[in-house]
Each structure stands twice: as C-alpha cells, then as structure tokens.
Structure 1
Amino acid sequence: MAEAVSTPARLAVVVGGAGGVGGALARALAGNPSYDRVIVLSRRLPADWPATDAQDRMVWMPADILDEDSLAAAAVRIAALGAPTLILIATGILHGEGLAPEKTLRAVTAEALSRVFLVNAVGPALVAKHLLPLTPRDQPSVLAALSARVGSIGDNRLGGWYGYRASKAALNMLIHTMAIEHRRTRPLGVCVALHPGTVDTALSAPFQTAVPDGRLFTAEQSAAALLAVVDSLGLEANGGFFAWDGAPIPW
C-alpha cells in the first residue's frame, strides 16, 4: 500500500491583527477554505479572539514589528506550520498621544517624524525581512502592506500631513524595491502596497467629517474589498500600488 504524501498547510499571515482592518482581514480569511490556517501577529491578543476554535484555523503569535527578536521567533513558529502564500501587513499610525498630522511645515518635529517613519515604514520592512523568505519558491504568493493614498506624491494636491504622507511614500518605495529582489528567487511572488480606503476605525476617527457619503467603509467592507484585490493580482502587479477597488494609484 502506497504511503500517503502529506500536503503542506496553506497559510495566511495577518500582521497587526489586533487593529480594526487587520482583525477584519483575519476573520474573513478564517472563513476562506483556500487557507488551512490563519496566523495572526500582534503585540497583544486581539480583544475579540475566539475562546475556542474546534478546527484550529486561527493561531495567534505575539510579535512587535519594531522588535526583530519577536519577528524572528514568530518566523520560526510559522515555518514549522507551513509556507505562507499570503502575508498581509495591516499596521500603521496617524495620530496618538503627542502626535497629530501636521497642518503646516511649522508643526514638523524630528520626534514626530521619527515615530511615524518607524511604525509606517521601518516596521513593515522588518516584517518582510523575516517573513518573505518563508514564502514558497514554486507557488504563487502575495505580500501586501496597507499604505494610503496620501502617500502618493503624484496625487498630493492639498499638502499637509507631512509625516504620514512621507512615511507612507517611504513604505511604497520599500515595497517596490523588495518586489524586485523577491522576484529573483520567487518568480511567482507578488509584493504590493494597498490603499484600504477611509475606514471607520480609531485611526481615522478624528478625520471622518469630510469623508464623502458612501466612502466611509466599515472594517469588514474594506477587508472584503482588499481581499478581492489580492485575489485578482497577476504577476504584472508586482511592485504596484493599488486602491481598495483595484485601481492603480500613481507614485
């Protein structure tokens, strides 16, 4: 009798799964039969984490995007479970204690710029450093990081928001650069930046009054749209920047 050949588990990884969009992405993927397991990385256990999961489809791992030791440890655990074919980086910062988008150049400070660049650009780059090598060499895979339309230099008509704009533009360049390198060893791999739209989360809460009717999405709506874009990506999309509806965004 021939011995059965085991098939590697199909993994999706969501980094930032304790956030609004990240949590919605993880929940949507948990119901997607294309993946055997969804690995969720965040600094703390998501508040709505299921108490029980009979199918063991969701696995939480502690990790901080600015702590390489924690990312390396998570990478070892993920590799033991299988090879991820989808990596979603849903982290970011716009405002917080002592931090707000700058309306004028006079408001720019080294401290604020450093903080947003660390979270919005450096962190995702470190995630990719540790997780991209886990993707399969002979199968399609996608790494997608949540960027923002305001990170587009070509689409910048209003000015302001110096730190957030510049940090997301830096993220876009990092994604485009890693996409070129990644393709050399994973010809079926795709790395992209995605704009999730304006989502009704804590990140956008102070800035929702000017959002046009019908353009403020729930986290679930944004997650569904983003996953539809991911599913539609071809090899030609590698290194690209796309909105929630799949439309390309100028750099």
Structure 2
Amino acid sequence: MALPVAVVQGASRGLGLQFCRHVLSHKGSAALIATCRRPEAAAELRGLAERHPGRVTLLPVDVGSEEQVRAAAREVALRAGKVDLVVNCSAVLHPSGKGETGLREVTAQGVLSTLSTNTVGALLMAKHFAPLLQKGGGGFGLQPALASKRHSGILVNISAKVGSIGDNGLGGWYSYRMSKAALNMATRNLSVELGRGRSKVVCVSLHPGTVNTDLSRPYHRNVPAAQLFSTEQSVDLMMGIIDSLNMDRTGRFYSWDGSELPW
C-alpha cells in the first residue's frame, strides 16, 4: 500500500511548521509536502527537509495566487499521485498586525486582504487538491469497518473561536472574525460536496487555542499562562483530533480539546 502523504500549507513558521515536525516525528514514513511563499528563505523548514532526506518536498505557494496553488497540485500529482491529509494553516490577523477595535478602523483593503489569505486561499487549496484527496488511501483518521462510510482523505482548515458567530459576545476584529466565519462556511460547504460518492473526504475546521505565535503575540498580556499554548501543545492536541476523525464527524468545527464549537 502506498505511504500516506500529508500537505501542510503555510509551513514556514508557527503552527504550520509544527505540523510538519509532528508528521515527520510521529507518522512513520509518511511523505510531507510543505508549502510556503518562499521556501528558499524558510531556514527551519529547509533544515527539516535536510534532516529527513527523501521524505520532504518543499513547494512555493502564495495562496493569493491561484496559479501557484494549481501548479503545486500538479507537482504533487506527478510526485505522489494522491494526498491523504491537507492542513491549511496560512493566516493573518490583519495587514496592520492589529485587529480592528471598532468601525472607525475598518478599511476595504484590510478586509479584502485578510479574506484573501484566511478564506480564499484555503478554498483554492481545496479546489485544486480535492481530486488528490479523493485518490487518497485514508492514511489519517479512523476507518470504520463499513466500506460505505470509509474516507479517502482529510481536509483541515485552521480556524479560530473568534470566527464563531454564536460565541461572539465582544465584537471587534471585523476582518479576522469575518474571514474565519467565512472559512467555516467553506468547510461546511466542502463537507457536503466532498462527502458524496465513493471517494469521500472528511472536512473540518479546528480552533488551535491561543498559541504563542507571531499572529497572537500582541494579545498575550491578558491571557492566563495556563491558557497560552506552545505550538507543540496545540498541534499535539489537534493531531489527536485529526487521528480520531471519520465521516461521522465531517462538516464540524472543533476546539483544541475536541469539543464542538457553535457556528
């Protein structure tokens, strides 16, 4: 049987880089396709590839360019012929690096730029990598005995609790909240479309918790130490969820602890 293949989009730092480390250290001989805008400048990612010769492929992908996403999918098709897991990690809080506190700070450019990276990019990844996920061998998640409920691949969109409309009691952060709410809708749509037919794909959104990364660092002051995760802690928890997924759990929004979040 062909070895599992994992694709991590946004792999040069933060959660994406840690997902790469986890796959390489915990998933036997699984092959890793790691994408980011400039692989030649991603020193830590290149170091991983050097330490795991033959297992890692680095590909340039700016999710703002559909042609780059398409080209990457073609390259993976040539190299591997299928994919078992795609994790979409690329995200920005806002082009300014700070979420809006009110309407006076909202700009069209800020909203559109955030949506482009956080929502449209992940949807384009799904568009071009779905055919490869449908050819996967189900190398991640749990496979039931009933053949009609088996999945071929898993698509994971890294979302955020602040993208939950039902949980929003504070407001603010218009661009980021809207982009993650839209991403959750994309996940739900994808779960319906890719859940049909014989080659089914599990599609979920995951909330990683508050993680010590560049994206959230400006807001750590008000976060209790026990609620601030390292990238290792967050990815270990999310991979535990991914390893438990099956078609009965597709189309949902899960927090780092496995609980289901409201849309």
- TM-score between the two structures when normalised by the length of structure 1: 0.92
Residues 64-94 of structure 1: CA distance to partner in whole angstroms, max 9, x if unpaired?
1111111111111111232111110011000
Shift of 1:180: 0.4
* 1:11–1:35 contact (8 Å) kept in structure 2: no
Equivalenced residues, count: 244
Q: Secondary structure at the match of 2:7?
A: strand
* Residues in 2 aligned to 1:222 and 1:127: alpha-carbon distance in whole angstroms: 23
Aligned ranges for residues 41-190 of structure 1 at < 5 Å?
41-45=35-39, 46-48=42-44, 49-50=46-47, 52-53=50-51, 55-82=53-80, 83-96=82-95, 98-137=96-135, 139=138, 140=151, 141-185=153-197, 187-190=199-202
* Residues in 1 aligned to 2:197 and 2:28: alpha-carbon distance in whole angstroms: 24
- Structure 1 range deviating more: 174-183 or 138-147: 138-147
- Structure 1 range deviating more: 171-180 or 43-52: 43-52
Q: For residue 162 of structure 2, what is the amino acid of its counterpart?
A: V
Shift of 1:102: 1.0
1:38 maps to what in 2? Answer: 32
Q: For residue 243 of structure 2, what is the amino acid of its counterpart?
A: D
Q: For residue 236 of structure 2, what is the amino acid of its counterpart?
A: A
* 1:40–1:58 contact (8 Å) kept in structure 2: yes
Unmatched 5+ residue regions in structure 1? Answer: 1-6
2:243 maps to what in 1? Answer: 231
* Residues in 2 aligned to 1:187 and 1:248: alpha-carbon distance in whole angstroms: 25
Shift of 1:52: 2.4
Q: Secondary structure at the match of 2:186?
A: helix
Q: Secondary structure at the match of 2:204?
A: strand
Shift of 1:244: 0.9
Q: For residue 93 of structure 1, what is the amino acid of its counterpart?
A: V
The 1:54–1:189 alpha-carbon spacing in structure 2 relative to 1, beyond 3 Å, is: closer
User: As a proportion of its length, which structure holds more helix?
Assistant: 2
* Residues in 1 aligned to 2:50 and 2:109: alpha-carbon distance in whole angstroms: 42
